[in-house]
Amino acid sequence: MSAGTAASTPAPSAQVLSPRARRLAADYLRRILSARVYDVAVESPLQPARSLSRRLANPVLLKREDRQSVFSFKLRGAYNKMAQLAPEHLQRGVICASAGNHAQGVALAAKRLGCRAVIVMPETTPRVKVDAVQALGGEVVLHGDSYSDAFQHACALQQAQGLSFVHPFDDPDVIAGQGTVAAEILRQHQGPLDAVFVPIGGGGLVSGIAAYIKAVRPEVRVIGVQTRDSDAMRRSVQAGRRVQLDDVGLFADGTAVKLVGEETFRVARQLVDDFLVVDTDEVCAAIKDVFQDTRSIMEPSGALSVAGVKQYVARHRCRGQTLVAVTSGANMNFDRLRFVAERADFGEQREALFAVTIPEERGAFKRLCELVGARAVTEFNYRISDERAAHVFVGLSISRRDEAERLARQFVRHGFATLDLTDDEMAKEHVRHMVGGRCPLAEGERLFRFVFPERPGALMRFLAKLHPGWNISLFHYRNQGADYGRILVGIQLPAGDEGALREFLQSLAYPHVEETDNPVYRLFLR
């Protein structure tokens, strides 16, 4: 496919580079052209996503870095860095901190170069990545809940054991190794090219790609993509300084970085044209999109760029533009597919959820069903709880997001009070599985939603910290096959315990949201 197959709608142009930015790109171009990566890496294919291209009316090409031997681009930067270490440093060994993909790259490079590799990984790392590192001969040390925690521990081990540190992103040699991805893209596609979409964690991949593209074809836009709960680079560029996040999302673990690198921030700030943020549902839908075109399953971070392409096209309504998405990795924990499949329809805007209130009288439920008509029903939950009104939890298949709004208005016009829950996280994660839980005994209940790393002892840590004088009036936990767990908890506090509650929440250090005022809770559970 070429960009000339359809009339192109104007989209934002690439930024005009300052002399300083041009010098920066030129410096990295020299590093990238001399990078040593092909002892371990292959030139990954640039593959048309035919189905997605038709749907979006824009040619979309996938740069398949998931096709590397470790199923990720990370071996490029790791090997380039290690291949340039002095022999005496290699003999002592190397150490790194990684959420998994960089770890495999370092382990493979160490095996090829014949040196020891100590790999510090967060305890939330998917088992598939831990097993892969160990299979390559890496010595795995599990520590902390995020990359930042693992990094601090790796620094301590480096000093104690005299090892050479191989940073996953904040190193010019690592950045140059990742930049070879862009060299391949421009060699493989020499025709019209409008934008390249790149996932961002610490920023090594986007920095290398942006540096090469801006040095060779500065008119091509480079767009970084992050998740809403791990957008440290976007926030840092907006603030003009590196911003450290208090918490990071655990779903896209490969890009869960609290603080981007100094060098990657310097490069991305000057050379990346724009930053997009996507949510979990959009990422799940993108995983499905890639599967439909390639029959390959991306890890969440590996599908970020595809989610960014879809958002970009919807926002700018562009047609006929040639867009490249770097699919950066495929180290997916198989059990996580359960969650991905469940949430993909929301990301594709193919399922809508509603809370519909109907009078508790004969024929009312039938009238509601008549309004639904022939539309596919994904969920109907109802339990009698009041003599005058019934609250029904309804899931319906839709083809576009605005259908949910139209359906809600239709229900209201026919006398049924309706709440659109399609974007309500608590409704999607918990309440749909708990409808009918009202109880008059739950007086004074406070409701909280927690996210915690799914590992042995995490649940008991939560329960052990609860004050013995507090009553748990509601508790919902559902294993979703992911590397994090979610709990919905109702707590009845004695008078005067508000301060103790604040101390409990602070000491627990798990991300949490109070949902006591959530209208879904008040309709179905209060």
Active site residues: 74, 328
Q: At 483, phi and psi to the nearest 5? A: -95, 15
State the first-to-last Cα distance of the chain, in angstroms, to the nearest integer: 55
- Tally the residues of the chain: 526
Q: Tell me the two tokens of residue 484.
A: 């994090």
Residue of 477, 488, 487 whose CA lies nearest to 446: 488
Rounded Cα distance, 170 and 154, in Å: 15
Q: How far is CA 499 from CA 115, 235, 351, 442, in A?
A: 54, 32, 41, 21
Contact yes or no for 107/133 (Cβ under 8 A) = yes
- Tokens 């009041």 correspond to what residue? 386
Pairing of strands 389-397, 351-359: antiparallel
Contact yes or no for 355/421 (Cβ under 8 A) = yes
Report the largest interatomic distance among the alpha carbons of the chain, rounded to a whole angstrom: 84
Structural element, H or E, at residue 204: helix 204-216
Beta-bridged to residue 471, according to DSSP, are: 492
Using CB atoms within 10 Å of the CB of residue 289, give its burial: 0 to 12 exposed, 13 to 18 middle, 19+ buried.
buried
